[in-house]
Structure formats: C-alpha cells, structure tokens
Amino acid sequence: MCPSLERKKGKIFIPKQKPVQTFAEESISLDPELEEALTSASDTELCDLAAILGMHNLITDTQFCDVVRSSNGVNQEHFSNVVKGETILPVFDEPPNPTNVEESLKRIKENDARLVEVNLNNIKNIPIPTLKEFAKTLETNTHVRHFSLAATRSNDPVAVAFADMLKVNKTLKSLNMESNFITGTGVLALIDALRDNETLTELKIDNQRQQLGTAVESEMAKMLEENTNILKFGYRFTQQGPRTRAANAITKNNDLVRKRRIEGDHQ
C-alpha cells in the first residue's frame, strides 16, 4: 500500500515583524563650569551628590562598592551617609520556674498566711485537673492576693473554674491567664464573673491561641464600664470601638481611685 500523502491546506502563518522603535536621545546642555565639575568629580563626590539629591541611581553598583571599600569612603567625612546597624542585645532564655506546684497547692488549701503570691508561669506539665483544683481551693483562701498561670496550657474548663472562684473569692487582687488556649467561651465566663466581683483590680488575658472576636471584645468593654474596681486590663483589642471604650473605662476607674485617695487625705 502506498503511504498517504500529507496535504497542507490554506496559507502558512508567518508572524509579522514589528518595527523596532527608536528613541531619540535627549541632549542636555549644562553650564561649562558644572559640566567640568561633574566630569572631574571622584566616585566619592558623585556618591555624596546622589545621596543629597535622593537619586541613588546616578552611580553604578561598582562605583558604590569602590567608595565603600576605599578608606576615603569610610574613615573620612566625605561619605557621611553610612548607616550603622543597630546593636542587637542578646536574648537569654528564662530559667525554669522553681515553684513547687504540689507544695503551693497544699499551702493554699491550708490557708497559709505567709503565701500571698503564687506564680505558675511557664510550667507546661501541670495537669488540667490540678489547675482546676487551684481554682477550687482559692474559693476559700483569704491570703493569696496575686495568682499567675500564664503559659500553662490552660483551656476553657480552667477559665470556667477560675470564673466560679471569682464569684466567691474576696481576697484576690490580680489574676494572670495570658498566653494560654482559652477561647471566647472561657473569656466570657471570666467577664461575667467580674460583673459582681468587687476585689479584683487586675486581669491579664492577652495572647490566647485564637482571636476572641468583636462580640467578646464588646463584652469586655461593657464589663469595664460597669466594674469600677478594674484598674489594669491586660488585653490588646483588635477592634477600634471596644478598644476606645475599654481605654476610657480604665482611665475613669483610675481617676475614681485617685479621687477617693485625695478625699481620704483631706479627712
């Protein structure tokens, strides 16, 4: 059998060649003195001129590197636009928290008068039931004034337990629950408990695992407007409205304390 013959139909496509655009070079005439100064200028002087004019593309990268490497560019006053990097201060890891969890819980249960502050910050291995037990024992404790459990992996059940504690505790002044896994549910429980609490003056709940949202932030601002005892509230608001309301409420609460102090001094 004879192989079939290939047949081409139609015309072969030949792309049109675009005409090459030519740009007329613009001639710029300078004063003879200025042209002579630019022609005889050194790389360092050109670099200074470019920096003054804010036109750093006047010199090439090669010229710039030559200026930087030269002694005149670094050690002399001609190259005055060298930016020195900010000195970075070393950051050292915090030492482990030396607090004895079991001993602290025992002393709270015994209502030890010498124990006025408990710091459990950054202790990651505290079981959730133990954290809830801390909240339960604080309900009847009359000496602990500052309690901190930041970065302890506390969650909503822990927050609810501490909210129940705040409804009956009449001694605690400061509670720090920052950097945990508390969601809006746990925060709302704390906020609701503070509506009737008259002793707590500081609450820190910032830097949780997820954002709390506009509704929760609005409830925070509302609570601060109703509870005049809160003087410090550790939370960075993401919404402008609740942020402004909260800031005004905290300012008002501190002004009330200052006013009471002044009135007490005059009596």
Name the one residue in this structure whose structure tokens are 């410090």: 232
Question: What are the start and end residues of each CATH 3.80.10.10 domain in the chain?
Answer: 101-266
101-266 is classed CATH 3.40.50.300: no
Name which residue leads in pLDDT, 267 or 198.
198
Residue 41 is predicted with a pLDDT of 73
Tell me how crowded residue 186 is: count the other CB atoms within 10 A of its CB. Answer: 25
Q: Model confidence over 79-114: pLDDT tens digits? A: 455 566 667 767 666 788 899 999 999 999 999 999
Look at residue 3 and give its three-state secondary structure.
coil
Q: Model's pTM, two decimal places?
A: 0.64
Residue 266 has pLDDT above 50, yes or no: yes
* One-letter identity of residue 115: L
Report the SS3 class of residue 252: helix
Looking at per-residue confidence, does 23 or 19 come out higher? 19
Alpha helices, H only, the chain? 32-39, 43-53, 61-69, 71-74, 101-109, 128-138, 156-166, 184-194, 214-226, 240-266
CB 127, CB 157: distance < 8 Å: no
Contact status, residue 132 vs residue 158, Cβ threshold 8 Å: yes
- CA dist 205 and 216 (Å) reads 12
Name the nearest CA neighbour of 164 among 185, 139, 142. 139
